Structure 1
Amino acid sequence: SSAFSKLFNYISKGNKSSEKIAMTAPVITAQKADNSESACWHVSFVMPSGSSFAHLPDPNDPQVRLRELGTEICIAKSFRGRATDELSKKITNELRAKALEANIALSDETRICRFDPPFKPGILQYNEIVIPAFI
């Protein structure tokens, strides 16, 4: 995707310091509950352990934004295989149903966390569906 390419460029010296930043896992794609075709997807990287937000170089691309996130409570389910739209939606629906049964309020955002490169055989890929909870 073009969003992934922009982030990859950022960590590959596409920043104000021309600094190379280690690629980390997971790569996170997130979307709000608006399931329309025009709904906006966000792609995120997790910075390497030991990185200080204050010391990360500014991006060259104005569409790349750095954001420090606080601690969150989330519900999650891990799975093996390609994170296809169909499988991701199925797992998301299962998680939301379980949360409803347990009276856990959830965000309308769903995150797909991919821990493996796309060229790794699908059956070996490790992924997670993560939904922030309000507890």
Structure 2
Amino acid sequence: MKIFLIISGVLLLAFVVVQLFAMNSQNDIETYPYKVEKKFKDFEIRSYEASLFTSVRLPSNNYKKMSSKGFSMLAGYIFGGNESNEKIAMTSPVSMSLEDSMTMMFLVPKKYNKEDLPNPNESNIEFKEEPEKKMAAISFGGWADDEKIQKYKEKLIAALEEEGIIYTNRFYFFGYNAPYEVFNRKNEIVIELPKDK
């Protein structure tokens, strides 16, 4: 019994240390830059800056099946799976387009231009320049899954229609936490809005 309590105590301490480290490291991660234009009850309108991403196209729109595969490919690239064996800083959020086939994207840190990035070892990885855009975003906590993504996509559509805001059909899922993070998990469904005339 005593050994069990000691092992449990050590495991609990390790868990707490990992969670504190994860929460603290979030403060140092570069994020997709935006400015809030207007807040509503359930969502907000944001203007995002033009940004560069590494991306990989996935063969299905099933979040559960595809998210781990896409993440491991892109993480492999930034952790040194490139012609220079160069490590590139992790950024936030991880973005997935919600289409018939998903595209997962990692924001490239601002210090890089497209020409500066080392070529990936994985041929499916591409560099994608996203223009500045206006988007509506709705947030939810916990771990994301296909049901939650669909639920908040529908909730965002209903909220936009209630406010009479015109939207496109380009939806994205944004995930802000590593899989091992338990506390303060943050996810978003965002949708592009038409460009101002």
The answer to whether the superposition gives a TM-score over 0.5 is yes
Deviates more, 1:77-86 or 1:125-134: 77-86
Partner of 1:57: 118
What CA distance in whole angstroms lies between the structure 2 residues aligned with 1:82 and 1:19? 31
The structure whose Rg is larger is 2
Name the aligned partner's letter for residue 94 of structure 2: V
Post-superposition shift, 1:10? 0.8
What CA distance in whole angstroms lies between the structure 2 residues aligned with 1:83 and 1:2? 15
Post-superposition shift, 1:113? 0.7
Q: Secondary structure at the match of 1:78?
A: strand
Give 1 or 2: higher helix fraction. 2
What CA distance in whole angstroms lies between the structure 1 residues aligned with 2:140 and 2:169? 21
Q: Secondary structure at the match of 1:134?
A: coil
Aligned pair partner of 1:79 in 105, 124, 140: 140
Q: Secondary structure at the match of 2:121?
A: coil
Partner of 2:158: 97
Gaps of 5+ in 1: 33-38
Post-superposition shift, 1:64? 0.5
Gaps of 5+ in 2: 1-67
Post-superposition shift, 1:3? 1.7
What CA distance in whole angstroms lies between the structure 1 residues aligned with 2:164 and 2:171? 18
Q: How does 1:1-135 map to 2 (within 5 A)?
A: 1-32=68-99, 39-121=100-182, 124-135=184-195
1:29-75 CA-to-partner distances (Å, cap 9, x unmatched) read 1122xxxxxx3111110112322223112212111011111111000
Asked if the contact 1:99/1:105 (under 8 Å) is kept, the reply is yes
Structure 1 length-normalised TM: 0.84
Name the aligned partner's letter for residue 23 of structure 1: M
Structure with bigger RCO (C-alpha 8 Å, 6+ apart) = 1
Post-superposition shift, 1:81? 1.5
1:116-135 CA-to-partner distances (Å, cap 9, x unmatched) read 111111x5211111111114
Deviates more, 1:6-15 or 1:53-62: 53-62
Q: Count residues with an aligned counterpart.
A: 128
What CA distance in whole angstroms lies between the structure 2 residues aligned with 1:5 and 1:131? 25
Q: Secondary structure at the match of 2:82?
A: coil
Name the aligned partner's letter for residue 116 of structure 1: N
Q: CA RMSD in A?
A: 1.6
